Chain A
Amino acid sequence: MNALTESLIELIRRTSAEIPDDVQRAILTALENEKKGTIAESALKIIERNIELAKQKSQPICQDTGSILFYIDCPVGLDQIEFADAARAAVKQATKVGYLRQNSVDSLTGKNDGTNLGPGAPAFHFHQHRGDKISVRLVLKGGGCENVGAQYSLPNTKLNANRDLDGCRKVILDAIVQAQGKGCGPGILGICIGGDRATGYNHSKEQLLRMLDDTNPNPELAALEADIVKTANELGIGPMGFGGNTTLLGAKIGAANRVPASYFVSVSYMCWAYRRQGCELNQNGEIQNWLY
């Protein structure tokens, strides 16, 4: 097994078993903010204990180890075919040792061959740059939260949402109310305003690569992000939809150009078990440092 495959197995292990520090801090704050003696507080206590236990045992935080999404920033000239082969070997091995559940099903036959490999699985997003660094980010996105993602086409008459930021706000908040309970809250939203249906969802997922405590460089989007989190936390949905003070841990919004006829708002919901990790690799494929 080559160094790159070994590094990627370690990336998968760490992503599956260890929640990033920024997310854990946000969960601790949520726990402090819930009323003592409520079922919301009990839920967050179990979540907190689960995070500790998964890390200590080096086992999946959540049994749904999700869609496996690789985001690779690489220098021009990196052999992407070779990289993807190494990543597939890593996924297969990580599944064998239980860092990943046997989680990939043939959509036509319903068969699960237990390898997590198949058409579209895992998914790769390569981005070239002019530097010499290779960074690999990995998101494991569970099905429960993926199922409550939503894409709105504006204008939306039912929600009285027009083609402006207020319209975006309305549909995003609607997505939060619809997702309650099902998406394992408190959640984190990745959102894209614009794009086509495919690029919009893709861009919304890339927003989930941002740090929870960063600030959007666009002041209008930064204000919308803050407003979404504040308003969502006033709705009383709470952890697991049990009622309570923390419904969202964060909202990250990006924008992509659209054609004049279309105006999509794509919302990707991430559960509290926010499994994202990343590392920089050296030329030999060894891990140099962690990104989160």
Chain B
Amino acid sequence: MIALEFPFTEEKVRALKVGDEVALSGRVFTGRDAVHKYLHEGGKLPEGVSFQDGIIYHCGPVVLKDENGEWKVTAAGPTTSIREEPYQWQIIRDFGVRGVIGKGGMGPKTLEACREHGCVYLHGIGGAAQVLAECVTRVINVHMLEEFGSPEAIWELEVKDFPVVVTMDSHGNSLHADVFKSSSEALAARV
């Protein structure tokens, strides 16, 4: 397990390779379909929010308010990332994103943006909402909750030892592309 801690600099991110297991600590921003489409169409990030050297987490958490009125994340696994493939490269380029957490991997445009701008794709364990929610130590803030609704809002979360696997690195390697190729060949031999 490699510890990756805030701030997520280009140097730290460039050192990561496909297959590395990483324990992530620091601040991450959730962002999924609505946020990506909004930014792609020229939308502005809310005042005081910056993705520079930051991490976007493809996640729509279950968040409840406790009796003291504090937000509490009760389930927070990754959502399928490929839906953001049309937008992700641009958001990596324009907003200085260093890491994207999600599941299922992404395509060639994102892989190229990771290589060019110094970013990695970090695969969370899909469905493991409870294990991952335990790693969310605090809800720092929430943005665009009214516009997008709870699952689609930008939740600013503090995480500790959040487990992910590097499946796309900043050197042009993608575990997803490799497994897709080998499994397609294995299938061709069996039909």
A residues whose Cβ falls under 8 Å from a Cβ of B: 39, 42-43, 46-47, 49-50, 53-54, 57, 59-65, 98, 101-103, 105, 110-112, 114, 142-144, 147, 159-160, 169-170, 173-174, 177, 180-184, 231, 234-238, 240-243, 271-273
Please state if B105 and A241 are interface contacts (CB–CB under 8 Å).
yes
User: Is B86's beta carbon under 8 Å from chain A?
Assistant: no
Residues of A within 8 A of B130 (CB): 50, 53-54, 57, 59-61
B3-11, B47-55, B112-120, B174-182: which lies at the A interface?
B174-182
Residues of B within 8 A of A59 (CB): 62, 74-75, 129-130, 133
Please state if B21 and A144 are interface contacts (CB–CB under 8 Å).
no
Residues of A within 8 A of B152 (CB): 112
Chain B 60-92 near chain A by CB (<8 Å), digits 1 or 0: 111010000000001111011010000000000
Q: In the assembled complex, how far is the CB of residue A187 from the closest CB belonging to chain B, in whole angstroms? A: 11
Please state if B126 and A271 are interface contacts (CB–CB under 8 Å).
yes
Report the bound CA distance from A236 to B181 in whole Å.
11
- Residue of B34, B133, B191 near A169 (CB, 8 A) is B191
Given A42-B21, A60-B129: A144 touches B191 (CB 8 Å cut-off):
no
Interface size on B, residues (CB 8 A): 47
- Residue of B19, B64, B151, B179 near A98 (CB, 8 A) is B64
Q: In the assembled complex, how far is the CB of residue B88 from the closest CB belonging to chain A, in whole angstroms? A: 15
Beyond contacts A39-B19, A169-B191, A182-B103: 16 other A-B pairs, Cβ-Cβ < 8 A, are A39-B165, A50-B127, A62-B127, A62-B128, A63-B61, A63-B62, A98-B74, A102-B149, A105-B149, A112-B152, A147-B80, A184-B127, A231-B187, A241-B179, A243-B179, A273-B127
Q: In the assembled complex, how far is the CB of residue A19 from the closest CB belonging to chain B, in whole angstroms? A: 10
Q: Which of A61, A181, A242 has the most CB of B within 10 A?
A: A181
Please state if A62 and B77 are interface contacts (CB–CB under 8 Å).
yes
- Residue of A60, A184, A236 near B74 (CB, 8 A) is A60
Q: List 19 A-B contacts (CB under 8 A).
A: A39-B19, A42-B165, A46-B128, A50-B129, A53-B134, A59-B129, A59-B130, A63-B62, A65-B62, A101-B60, A101-B151, A112-B150, A160-B191, A184-B126, A236-B182, A237-B179, A242-B179, A271-B126, A273-B127
User: Is B25's beta carbon under 8 Å from chain A?
Assistant: no
Report the bound CA distance from A237 to B149 in whole Å.
35
- Residue of A98, A173, A236, A271 near B191 (CB, 8 A) is A173
| Residue in A closest to B80 when the chains form the complex, CB atoms | A144
Please state if B186 and A236 are interface contacts (CB–CB under 8 Å).
yes
Please state if A47 and B125 are interface contacts (CB–CB under 8 Å).
yes
Please state if B149 and A181 are interface contacts (CB–CB under 8 Å).
no
Report the bound CA distance from A43 to B191 in whole Å.
29
Residues of B within 8 A of A184 (CB): 103, 126-127
Please state if B103 and A240 are interface contacts (CB–CB under 8 Å).
yes
Q: In the assembled complex, how far is the CB of residue B32 from the closest CB belonging to chain A, in whole angstroms? A: 11
| Residue in B closest to A103 when the chains form the complex, CB atoms | B151
User: Is B160's beta carbon under 8 Å from chain A?
Assistant: no
The 7 A-B residue pairs with the shortest CB-CB distance, nearest first, are A112-B149, A63-B75, A184-B126, A182-B104, A273-B127, A53-B130, A50-B128
Report the bound CA distance from A278 to B151 in whole Å.
27
Residues of B within 8 A of A46 (CB): 125, 128, 131, 163
Q: In the assembled complex, how far is the CB of residue A112 from the closest CB belonging to chain B, in whole angstroms? A: 4
Given A46-B163, A173-B187, A235-B186: A64 touches B103 (CB 8 Å cut-off):
no
- Residue of A42, A60, A181 near B103 (CB, 8 A) is A181
